[in-house]
A and B are shown apart, each in its own frame.
Chain A
Amino acid sequence: MENIIALISKPDNVPILAILFLIPYFIWLSFKQARQTDRMGVPSDAELNDKVYVWPYLCRNEFVCAIIVMLVLGVWSIMIDAPLEEMSDPAKTPNPSKAPWYFLALQEMLVYFDPWIAGVVLPGLIIAGLIAIPYIDINPKGKGYYTLKERPFAIAVFCFGFIILWIVLMIVGTFLRGPGWNIFMPWEKWDPHLIVPLTNINLSYLFGIRNDVTASFFGFVVVSGYFALGPIVYIIFRKTSQFIQQLGLVRYVIVSFLFLSMMALPIKMFLRLALNIKYVWVTPWFNI
């Protein structure tokens, strides 16, 4: 228990503590407004054409907001000192070595994927996917107001990615990851000598495949089969689903690829945590 108190009172973890309150608050605030719009309907034109002068109305808001934020920042800066540990020493590696808090979700992915996927490919896909959002989301509704009913898929996917795969993993990385990057519950003591037996096996091994070449081929089938889910769904539903027809082939390919890539992380996490799966696909050049 002293351990979690020490972690919480670490100055650099104050932002994470703030996030613990801010994120639920803003989720609540936005969902409340979304429910309101969904029930009462979108505001009418007359309400929207109601214009006000920026000076003084907006400038006053900006001014008050700036004062409040500066007050909070001032109090924060007076009360809590920025951390300074001893001088850097390349010969003395701390255990655990953690990246800055906003990269801890990426560091957390390293547990489940090799560095080239967790550190390069997935972050690249996150960036590309974020930029692609306006071009693949062709739903014209829900522009400029909170709603759940008019764009359930978009909101569900984004909230899952942002809240679970980014914020929650960041919090896990900060508070629950200890020496050796092992999970320690808040009430457990960080034991640097804790030995966790490595019983991870590859997926092919679980299916009784012992031959390397066969295992490699098996992995190829599983991974390409997973990404083939997109085209398969397309072929089955393209006649009946309005959603797919409106999206068009190119956008559909991008959406399904990005979606499957994102879901690969929770799937791999489940495989690792529940079945001790190390790799799904092993080759001499790379492992997935």
Chain B
Amino acid sequence: MSKVLIIGSGGAGLVSALSAHESGAEVIVASKTLPTRSQTSMAQGGMNAVLGSDDSIANHITDTLNSSAGLGDENRITFMCEKAPEAIAWCNYIGLPFSRDKEGQIARRRLGGASAPRACYAQDYTGLKLLHTLYDQCLKAGVTFKNERFLLNLIVDEEAKRVLGATFLHIETGEVEEIRADAVILATGGYGNLYGKHSTNSVQASGDGLAAAVRAGAKLADMEFIQFHPTALKGSSILISESARGAGGYLLNAHHERFTDELAPRDVVARAIHDEMAKSGAVFLDIRHLGEEFINHELPQERKLAQIYEEIDPVHELIPIKPSAHYSMGGIEVNAECMSSVKGLFAVGECANHKIHGANRLGGNSLLELVVYGRECGKNATEYGTKNPAPSAESMQLAKDTNFIRGVMYFTNQIDFYQKQEMLANIFYNNVGLVRDDMGLKAVLGAIRQMQKELPFMGPRDKSKICNTNLVEFIEFGNKVELAEIIVVSAISRVESRGAHYRIDAPVRNDRMFGAHTITWKEDGVLCADFMK
């Protein structure tokens, strides 16, 4: 029996777990939190699928391809869009409580960049309800959960370039453990939290899986593409779902005038807001005309959050908003079977780059991707593990990582890493945000290189072995710094504008030179980058 280790317990991890279990694998899900606490719970808008005759799969494919600005893989997008109705039927089969229309069919709404209403939803809790439904199914299937396991490194047979398992810090006990497996699936989510308070993401989204993958020799793709959601609450970057605009919400400038098409793709709307904020000073979302009853029923979260964080009631008042870092299009490069450049190492969900979203993701395509490709990934990993059982090879990784956890306690702490983390978030928002240029990017690269040198002079100040979240946050910071360099180098290399990557010093798309994926990897610790079709 093939043993499959899944790292991360959000939607992508749990769908893969169910699929690997169905395919006959022994499944272990290791995660730094409880499964229901992952980022998927925050997805609101919906899951795209063409269900009725008022829409067509061809339109879904075209919309996704257009939004991807030349970096979407047509075959894979076609595969996903064709599988979408089946994915929705599967979600319905396992009990996802979708909202319904008058005919009793799964209710759909229109999100930005979509030519028809095709996002199937469960109020504004689509992600939450999907995640919990999946968790319930995993318990039914008897999947083994190892919670509170923080991923340190992948265990790799260097010569064969084959993954053998992973090492973890058990947060509660402070012990370093290893879990061996025939195949490993990374489902660890994105890196949006690099932007700190300028991100809609959970604090967990620190890109741990991507950082571990690159250390293990895997390739990453298109890391410079980070989607900014047009409407986050101004003070806290808490997300106000696109469904608010899908339902007819307006964007207003400081003079309370509309200034853009609210339902254009996210990159377009976010940049329009950015420009308008520079011009008139403020931008608001107006949903007052939708009425209290509609808001209470369809957008209950947004009303509550606006009241708590902005102290305004959207039923009667304008919501102050700003664009915030929301989704990582970049990720671990995978082939059509979801396998990375390291044998036996698979990746799925936001941490992976399936070349579905390209340079800009459409709302409603991320939940769809994790269901469709999660099911593929679990099956493929099981098959791989069955055909290629992992050798019980010796590895120094556990000893190395145990020593690291012991040694990091002796880092000197002359420099406060929380302060550096905040600085990194600010310079990323300002210089690696919606609008970029060569000078600004290079300044950030300089700051990152400095931080890399300073890491040994930082470290956890809390010396407890038991449940040391200060230690966990320090390692997360290390992962962010590792990825920050890759993102900025990718952004500097791409001297053009495309989708979410907008260079004010090169505002035009240049397919001849840059109509390709930015591939990055490390060789003996040195970062390498190249453009590849």
A and B are partners in one complex rather than unrelated chains: no
